[in-house]
Chain A
Amino acid sequence: EAQVTQNPRYLITVTGKKLTVTCSQNMNHEYMSWYRQDPGLGLRQIYYSMNVEVTDKGDVPEGYKVSRKEKRNFPLILESPSPNQTSLYFCASSLQGLDTEAFFGQGTRLTVV
């Protein structure tokens, strides 16, 4: 089954404690990205990757890191989480192109206290 898998689904952590949210896709997509969703703001892109070893900033990259060592995996790293990073996070993958459907992971609800 074609899917994007994120882990964990839920995470509560403390300020400053490094964490990683994993994302894996099985569709051989070149393009992967991370979004955060906040009430009243819709989804905003954090980082994206065109292919292996190619990553770049989206609209709200501050406080986040990513890596793309393999095509299928695109982890999101919060080196020193802060409460303003409490949000719902989505990983998405797609083929390149204007008309390609983006497949989303199940979402990770992160709370930083």
Chain B
Amino acid sequence: AQKITQTQPGMFVQEKEAVTLDCTYDTSDPSYGLFWYKQPSSGEMIFLIYQGSYDQQNATEGRYSLNFQKARKSANLVISASQLGDSAMYFCAMREPYYGNNRLAFGKGNQVVVIP
């Protein structure tokens, strides 16, 4: 069964506007970590933000914030004031406490294109 679901089609966003990227996850473990990574066209994976399952507050990092709704198993990424450099693929990932494996389970990604 898929652990991370990202189903939005590719998105076009106007520069300076906010964009929300959807991510739902599936786990029966009460303890887990959620991550968002950015992959620009150059290919590298860039860590953006982290949310722990026990964190009371939604995580924020600069223009990135995570809308964490635990009961709905949802961890949406919000990018405020989009910039042209935000054009990229965005991946949601989850880490569960498998013994010995620090694996990140990734979703299929959301493509974002920021237009001037």
- 0/1 per residue, A74-104, Cβ < 8 Å to B? 0000000000000010101010111111111
Neighbour of A45 across the interface among B45, B52, B100, B103, CB < 8 A:
B103
A88 touches B50 (CB 8 A): no
B103 touches A101 (CB 8 A): no
Supposing A98-B31, A98-B97, A106-B44 touch, asked if A42 and B102 sit within 8 A by C-beta, the answer is: no
Question: What residues make up the interface of A, taking CB atoms closer than 8 Å to B?
Answer: 31, 33, 35, 40-45, 48, 50, 56, 58, 88, 90, 92, 94, 96-104, 106-107, 109
Interface size for B (C-beta < 8 A) is 26
Question: What residues make up the interface of B, taking CB atoms closer than 8 Å to A?
Answer: 4, 31-33, 35, 37, 43-45, 47, 50, 52, 91, 93, 95-97, 100-104, 106-109
Q: Look across to chain B and name the residue whose beta carbon is closest to the beta carbon of A94.
A: B102
A interface, over-half SS: strand
- B28 CB, min distance to chain A CBs, angstroms: 15
**For residue B93, which residues in chain A have a CB less than 8 angstroms away from its CB?**
43
